[in-house]
Amino acid sequence: MSEVDNRLVMDQPVERNLLDRGKQGVVGKGLDRVDGPLKVTGRARYSYEEPVENVAYGIVLTSEIGHGRIAGIDAETARAAPGVIAVIVDHPLLPSDGASGTALPRTLPQIENYGQAIGILVAETLEAARSAAHLVRVEYRPEPGRFDMMAHIDELEHEPPTRLVPDQHKGDLDAALAESAIVFDATYTTPFHLPVALEPHAAIAIWTGDKVEIHSSLQLLKGSLAAISASLQLDPANVRILSPYIGGGFGGKTGVGPETVLAAIAAREIGRPVKVAVTRRQTAHLVHHRCDTRQRIRIGCTADGNILAIGHESIVTQKKDRIFIEPVSIGSFGLYAGDARRFTQSVVRLDLPQASAVRAPGEAVGMLTLETAMDELAEQLGLDPIEFRKRNEPAQNPLRGVPFSTRRLIECYDEGARRFGWDQRNPVPGETRDGEWLVGMGMAAAVRNNLLVESQARVRLTPEGRAIVETDMTDIGTGTYTILAQIAGEMLGLPLDRVEIRLGDTDFPHAAGSGGSFGAAASGSSVALACEEIIGRLAALMDATPEQLTLQDGIATARNRRKPLAELLDGKAMEALGTIQQGKNGQAFSQASYGAQFAEVAVNGVTGETRVRRLLGVFDCGRILNAKTARSQAVGGMIWGLSYALHEEAVVDTRSGAFVTRDLAEYHVAANADVPQIEAYFLDATDPYANPLGVKGIGELTVGGTGAAIANAIYNACGVRAREFPLTLDRLLQGLPPV
């Protein structure tokens, strides 16, 4: 039977959740990952590990100045070194500015940032390539560069022409603030952040005639296919990308890095496969980062704590000509009430590597500061932080004036407070002690806008009654293999050992990819829609309607008849496509995931060291597909939020434009000893406006409120408010009370 595309555009609420018809009982349970055995035994290969015969090894050559031009390159000594196959520094398709995109002629390239890719050296072994790379001599013509936001604040672009989120205005903020009984006005700063995935950014390129097969660690394959094809000046039909397993991405692998394009160029030049891995120290400059921010938050309210006006105005940095502007205030848009509202983003252009989306773009840094400000204002008003937030819970989106699809934030507050023991909190800072440690509690709200991106999947029911799911969706460690197997198994009535999931291949139907917390909803919906089409065909074979058909354990039952699927299919396969698209619901309703997060910390009264003792979060994320992978996402996000609050800070040498914290010895991330016991709970209820499964994003939601909860707990512990993140001990010491 021919393949049919079951397409759904989300223009209306879903009357019946697609998963409700299933009887297999696998959705929602905390099942182990189906790819877990492959990963723990080393059989799940990452891009650099793919076995390829006759492969050569490439090293990316990078610039050692922050701005200027290349006057000349002497590569002859390197070319003569043992094992060297080629040194490519003048190929016309080399990326002109260190990033992939449309290829440009390149003879004396402009150096736009420190660590920019300027070529590739290829050798027989990795060791030979590393050694010879040091022999390439580059003569530069340095020029003055812009490397510091505050040094160039007078060059501020107040309304960048292209932004992920435009500025938002409602009412007269200044007038409303002037009329407010209480006005809060403070400025917070956050530093540069790096997405330091455990698996390196790597690629292998293999040419067969005019076609290239690329194994690379990429989150969004559809967009990557377009970027790589353009960079290599190829028809997309001649490019195949494979990325079945990814060892973490965090946004850093949403774009195509220079290693991928360079591997393809080198492989074609030398006539054999080439593999390239970006070193940890190169990652800081060859992979995009989250920019630094300067955020002014103003909130005006009545004497009893009703918000009248809220402004969240941010300054961020970005490379020239790049369109991504960190949407710092996006989480603030609809979180709290207030008729007068202003949310703006301004940019200072710097000669640094490009900034782009790192896990929870906008909310990760915007919620960190907004929720700290809300705690400060609650303190000023003499209100409990939860009570202050409840008083300002809006009935509808206060900026757009549209209803919420679902919003259970108050339930998150109440359930979190009950589980955490919030009633035991001493509201007076510095009064709870444990020896030389000052102990405090804090909380914060969390929000993450819910997105639905077009996605497609193919489901094939084999004559033996097994299901094969194919989509170029990726799994970056979030559990995509598992939840898609659960969805297909639930709908088709199959045990998970009879469901095979195939991901990460651009020969498969194009999916949304992994990013923006939209992966599970988009790819899961497309799989479910394909299964729905197959269910309809199976029902017809049973002379029944889909509503009369029950599928369980590989048996079809309808109208008092039972048949194994293999018998019902009678030697024929059945195949269908499923496609999900956003429709009118995206504008007609305000869609988001919500949460409340709680922290208990201890601050050493002598050293200023902070230790997080407890973290707890309660989240409203729609339907939970797998309790175990959902909790894993929440815990991982909360660990990262802790890391942002206390550790992570990428430091730029403002003389050279180089990140000096470019390895894990200097760029500190939360380690095992920093992380306490973490509790994560979910209010499991569907959102019928979001998608046919009723699910919403989890992964990025749980980052946002954690850092602010920790910052607020630090204040409750010791009475110190630091508005410059991360909250390292040097920023707390001077304000600590005597022990």
Q: So which residues are the catalytic ones?
A: 700
Distance between CA atoms of 680 and 632, rounded to whole angstroms? 9
Find the helix or strand (DSSP H, E) in which 278 lies.
none
Distance between CA atoms of 593 and 56, rounded to whole angstroms? 46
Distances (CA, A) of 258 to 108, 188, 203, 357: 18, 34, 10, 17
Reduce the DSSP state of residue 698 to 3 states and report it.
coil
Distance between CA atoms of 694 and 624, rounded to whole angstroms? 9
Distance between CA atoms of 597 and 619, rounded to whole angstroms? 9
Residue with tokens 């939970």: 624
Distance between CA atoms of 445 and 618, rounded to whole angstroms? 10
What residue ranges in 421-490 does DSSP mark as E strands?
A: 433-434, 437-449, 455-461, 467-470
Angle at 240 (CA atoms; ends 60, 484), nearest 5 degrees: 110
Residue 247, both tokens: 């060892």
Reduce the DSSP state of residue 293 to 3 states and report it.
strand
Residue 661, both tokens: 């914290």
Distances (CA, A) of 73 to 69, 80, 98, 267, 661: 11, 15, 17, 21, 28
Angle at 122 (CA atoms; ends 120, 126), nearest 5 degrees: 115
Residue with tokens 């990819």: 513
Question: What DSSP letter does each residue of 612-659 carry, written as one string?
Answer: EEEEEEEEE-BS-SBHHHHHHHHHHHHHHHHHHHHT--BPEETTTTEE
> What does DSSP assign to residue 393?
-
Distances (CA, A) of 261 to 69, 205, 675: 22, 9, 38
Distance between CA atoms of 233 and 225, rounded to whole angstroms? 12
Distance between CA atoms of 633 and 700, rounded to whole angstroms? 8
Distance between CA atoms of 195 and 214, rounded to whole angstroms? 23
Backbone dihedral angles phi then psi of residue 534, each to the nearest 5 degrees: -65, -40
Distances (CA, A) of 349 to 63, 101, 174, 292, 319: 20, 20, 28, 12, 5
Reduce the DSSP state of residue 371 to 3 states and report it.
helix
CB 520 within 8 A of CB 695: yes
User: Sign of torsion, CA 656 659 660 662?
Assistant: negative
Dihedral angle computed from the Cα positions of residues 712, 714, 719 and 723, in that order, rounded to the nearest 10 degrees: -70
Please classify residue 587 by burial: count the beta carbons closer than 10 Å to its beta carbon, then call 0-12 exposed, 13-18 middle and 19+ buried.
exposed
Between 363-381 and 627-646, two packed helices, what is the crossing angle to 10 degrees?
70
Residues facing 737 on adjacent strands: none
Distance between CA atoms of 362 and 700, rounded to whole angstroms? 10
Identity of the residue numbered 38: L
Cβ partners under 8 Å of residue 580, min gap 6: 7, 8, 10, 452, 454, 455, 456, 522, 525, 526, 529, 691, 692
Distances (CA, A) of 607 to 611, 706, 738: 12, 23, 11
CB 563 within 8 A of CB 542: yes
